[in-house]
Amino acid sequence: MPFSTTIDNKILDHLTGKATWTAPVAFYVGLSSTTPTKAGANVTEPSTGAYARVQITAAQFDAAASSATQNNVDKAFPQATADWVAGANLTHLVIYDAVSAGNFLGFKALVTPKPVLSGDTAKILNGDLDIAMGGT
């Protein structure tokens, strides 16, 4: 998962002593039907149908090993009460530090893009959200 430009800069400034950085206490994972940029542009999250980002706390990630970590719990989005983004394929996970708006932290393409239609419940299964240094 590529980190955002903001996170890259915060890590580098922290490592070189230019600034201290306190990591977020929780991450909020969303879905996008468009491919984000490292700067956080071009994110198209659903805006209707009971869509909401899901929270993942630090305790819900494994300790890092080999420069990577992954989630250790299943997380479910709210059940869709209408088709999200008019039934378009959702193609990417996006991560922020807030439940709405917030700082863009990174993104990852879904292995299998698909729509979330009314009545569906999108899920992130245990071990499916991998975060790695130098991620792609």
Q: Where are the domains of the chain?
A: 5-22+32-132
Residues in the chain: 136
Q: What percent of the chain has pLDDT over 90?
A: 85
Q: Once rounded to an integer, what is the mean pLDDT over residues 20-39?
A: 94
Tokens encoding 41: 């542009």
State pLDDT tens for residues 77-135.
999 999 999 999 999 999 999 999 999 999 999 999 999 999 999 999 999 999 888 75
Residues facing residue 27 across a β-bridge: 56
Which uninterrupted H or E stretch holds 24?
Answer: none
Q: What is the mean predicted confidence (pLDDT) over 35-47?
A: 97
CA angle 123, 133, 54 (to 5 degrees): 25
Strand, helix or coil at 9? helix
pTM: 0.91
| pLDDT range class, residue 2, cuts 50, 70, 90 | confident
Mean pLDDT, the chain, as a whole number?
Answer: 94
pLDDT per position as a tens digit, 108-123: 999 999 999 999 999 9
